[in-house]
């Protein structure tokens, strides 16, 4: 198959020794250090941030959101659009001030941007206050890298580490609440022509079903009730093995307990009827599907290297709905791909109208240096792209509002996850379809399932009040 290498127990044990070494460094000075982990980008990065926080905790760090209080600042970055990169460079610039006040502070840049040679070169040349740069491939050796920075009081650049590894058993410090993220695979082999992810995350590799099952079992036992399986293309999970993604879902479904399992993202090229059937038959798979279509025009889909057509996408939606009537759908869309005409953008809008998504994540195309699309001629002015984008939003917002209004008067089962800050509707929750609900009810409901009668809606969310307790 591919050259995936599992990080050995001996290598991980060495990292634990580095964790202890950093911990002793502060203990010797009688100090309790603090770290700030600032994560940008997708849920995969959030999951990585939780591993980094787990390692920092083992090194004795407490956590802060204030960079002035932090002994270590970790910017866990995203490279998917130029705007995300600009924000990070802005944040890096601002950190010159905190470092001036606290010269012992360590500033580290990690995540997808850090894997780009052009970024690490720019940091090397123009951001001398940054001490450590490492990409996703080197995440598992963060303790060693941090130790090196402390040991030599010099800068460490580790962005060209060995790609394509899997490290099991890293510590994890999860966010509070009932939701948890589980990466089931890493990397991407699809090379959509606009996308930087395959370049920064490396080749696609899947964790073993045993490892995924063990992690999900642990989460269910710890009380997590909304578990999302993560991968850039979960439908190609286990490629070349005898356990595909639908088999994995069926296997996880056997874990007893009251919880939902979600997943993202699915790629339409690899989504299958088998998957929809498995979801429909499953007790725990949430009836919800995020299936990015990116464009509704076949020429643009070809140029994007998506390897499916509009017609195939529509047939998948029809199949999913035949197994799960009323299935709430969401998707990702790009407007303004190089050379996209007004009529071609119109096909994207018409596909959105035809399907009827509860929500769309909409992006204006952003050229990413090094990708194929970045060298394609792009004659359409930004203002024109913006106009087409606004039109898509207008159509989609009307549809989202109408789909959410249709919940009014219904009583739905939700998972209550926290406080909203809105005194009339103080609790927040999610439906099985991943719709956000704010509702009036007893805060003791937080952390469990409840029934809520929907009384109102906005474009993106629902309002309601607690119905009779679950029996």
Question: Which of 39, 190, 228, 236 is in the footprint of ligand SF4 by CB under 6 A?
Answer: 190
Which span sits near ligand F3S by CB under 6 A: 42-50, 252-260, 401-409, 451-459? 42-50
Q: Choose from ligand SF4, ligand SAM, ligand F3S, none: what does 191 bind? Cβ within 5-8 Å by kind.
A: ligand SF4
- Residue number, 43 or 401, with CB nearest to ligand SF4: 43
x-or-dash pattern for ligand SAM, window 184-213, by CB under 6 A? ----------xx-x----------------
Give the nearer residue to ligand SAM in terms of CB position, either 139 or 416: 139
Q: How many of the chain's residues bind ligand SAM (CB under 6 A)?
A: 18
Residue 105 vs residues 44, 115, 132, 155, 227: alpha-carbon distances, Å? 27, 23, 11, 13, 35
421: left (phi over 0), alpha (psi -120 to 50) or beta: left
What x/- string results for residues 146 through 185 when contact with ligand SF4 is judged by CB under 6 A? Answer: ----------------------------------------
Q: Where are the beta strands (DSSP E) in 43-174?
A: 62-63, 72-77, 106-111, 132-134, 156-158, 165-166
Contacting residue, 52, 79, 184, 195, with ligand SF4 by CB under 6 A? 195
Element (H, E) at 281: helix 273-281
* Site for ligand SAM contains 332 (CB under 6 A): yes
Cα–Cα dist 373/170, whole Å = 36
Of positions 99, 129, 148, 201, contacts ligand F3S by CB under 6 A: 201
Site for ligand F3S in 213-252 (CB under 6 A): none
* Tokens 């209080």 sit on residue: 69
Minimal CB distance to ligand F3S: which residue? 41
- Helix/strand/coil for 63: strand
Segment 85 to 104, residues that bind ligand SF4, using CB under 6 A? none
By CB under 6 A, is residue 192 in contact with ligand SF4?
Answer: yes
Interface residue with ligand SAM, options 363, 391, 395, 448 (CB under 6 A): 363
Q: How far apart are the first and last CA of the chain?
A: 50
Tell me if 267 contacts ligand SF4 by CB under 6 A: yes
In angstroms, the CA 226 to CA 240 distance is 29
Q: How many helices (H) and strands (E) does the chain have?
A: 13, 21
β partners of residue 230: 183, 264
CB 421 within 8 A of CB 410: no
Q: Does 45 bind ligand F3S (CB under 6 A)?
A: yes
3-state class (DSSP) for residue 148: helix
CA distance 366 to 29: 47
334 contributes a contact to ligand SAM by CB under 6 A: yes
Range in contact with ligand SAM (rule: CB under 6 A) among 57-65, 158-166, 358-366, 427-435: 358-366
| Residues in contact with ligand SF4, shown as a per-residue x/- string from 219 to 238 under the rule CB under 6 A | -------------xx-----
Half-sphere exposure for 70 (CA within 13 Å, toward CB):
21
196: nearest Cα among 367, 3, 377, 376: 367
Which residue in the set 41, 187, 231, 441 belongs to the binding site for ligand F3S (CB under 6 A)?
41
Question: Does residue 335 belong to the site contacting ligand SAM (CB under 6 A)?
Answer: no
Q: Is there binding between residue 42 and ligand F3S (CB under 6 A)? A: yes
Query: In this structure, are residues 466 and 452 in contact, taking their beta carbons and an 8 Å threshold?
Result: yes
* Site residues, ligand F3S (CB under 6 A): 41-42, 44-45, 78-80, 111-112, 196-197, 200-201
* Site residues, ligand SF4 (CB under 6 A): 188, 190-192, 195, 197-198, 232-233, 267
């Amino acid at each position: 198959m591919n050259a995936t290498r599992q990080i050995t127990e001996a290598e991980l044990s060495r990292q634990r020794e580095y964790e202890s070494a950093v911990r002793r460094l502060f203990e010797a000075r009688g100090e309790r250090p603090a770290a700030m982990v600032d994560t940008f980008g997708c849920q995969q990065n959030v999951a990585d941030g939780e591993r980094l926080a787990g390692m920092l905790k083992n090194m004795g760090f407490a956590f802060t959101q204030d960079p002035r209080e932090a002994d270590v600042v970790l910017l866990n970055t995203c490279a998917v659009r130029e705007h995300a990169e600009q924000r990070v460079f802005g944040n890096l610039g601002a950190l010159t001030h905190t470092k001036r006040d606290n010269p012992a502070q360590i500033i580290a840049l990690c995540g997808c941007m850090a894997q780009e040679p052009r970024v690490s070169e720019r940091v090397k040349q123009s951001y001398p206050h940054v001490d450590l740069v490492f990409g996703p491939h080197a995440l598992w050796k963060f303790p060693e890298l941090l130790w090196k920075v402390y040991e030599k009081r010099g800068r460490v650049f580790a962005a060209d580490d060995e790609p394509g590894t899997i490290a099991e058993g890293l510590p994890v410090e999860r966010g509070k609440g009932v939701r948890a993220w589980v990466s089931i695979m890493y990397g991407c082999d699809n090379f959509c022509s606009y996308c930087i992810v395959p370049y920064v995350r490396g080749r696609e590799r899947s964790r073993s079903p045993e490892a995924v099952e063990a992690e999900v079992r642990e989460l269910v036992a710890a009380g997590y009730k909304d578990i999302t399986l993560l991968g850039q293309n979960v439908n190609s999970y286990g490629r070349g093995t005898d356990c595909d993604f639908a088999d994995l879902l069926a296997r996880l479904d056997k874990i007893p307990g009251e919880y939902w399992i979600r997943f993202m993202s699915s790629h339409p090229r690899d989504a299958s009827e088998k998957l929809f059937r498995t979801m429909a038959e499953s007790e725990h798979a949430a009836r919800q599907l995020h299936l990015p279509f990116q464009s509704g025009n076949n020429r643009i889909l070809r140029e994007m290297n998506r390897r499916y057509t509009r017609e195939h996408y529509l047939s998948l939606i029809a199949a999913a709905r035949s197994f799960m009537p009323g299935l709430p759908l969401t998707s990702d869309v790009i407007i303004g791909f190089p050379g996209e005409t007004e009529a071609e953008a119109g096909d994207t809008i018409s596909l959105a109208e035809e399907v009827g998504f509860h929500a769309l994540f909409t992006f204006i195309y952003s050229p990413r240096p090094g990708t194929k699309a970045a060298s394609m001629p792009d004659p359409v002015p930004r203002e024109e792209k913006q106009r087409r984008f606004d039109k898509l939003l207008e159509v989609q917002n009307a549809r989202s509002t109408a789909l959410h209004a249709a919940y009014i008067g219904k009583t739905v089962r939700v998972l209550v996850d926290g406080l909203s800050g809105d005194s009339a509707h103080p609790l927040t929750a999610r439906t099985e379809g991943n719709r956000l609900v704010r509702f009036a009810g007893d805060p003791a409901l937080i952390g469990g399932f409840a029934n809520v009668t929907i009384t109102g809606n906005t474009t993106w969310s629902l309002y309601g009040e607690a119905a009779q307790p679950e029996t």
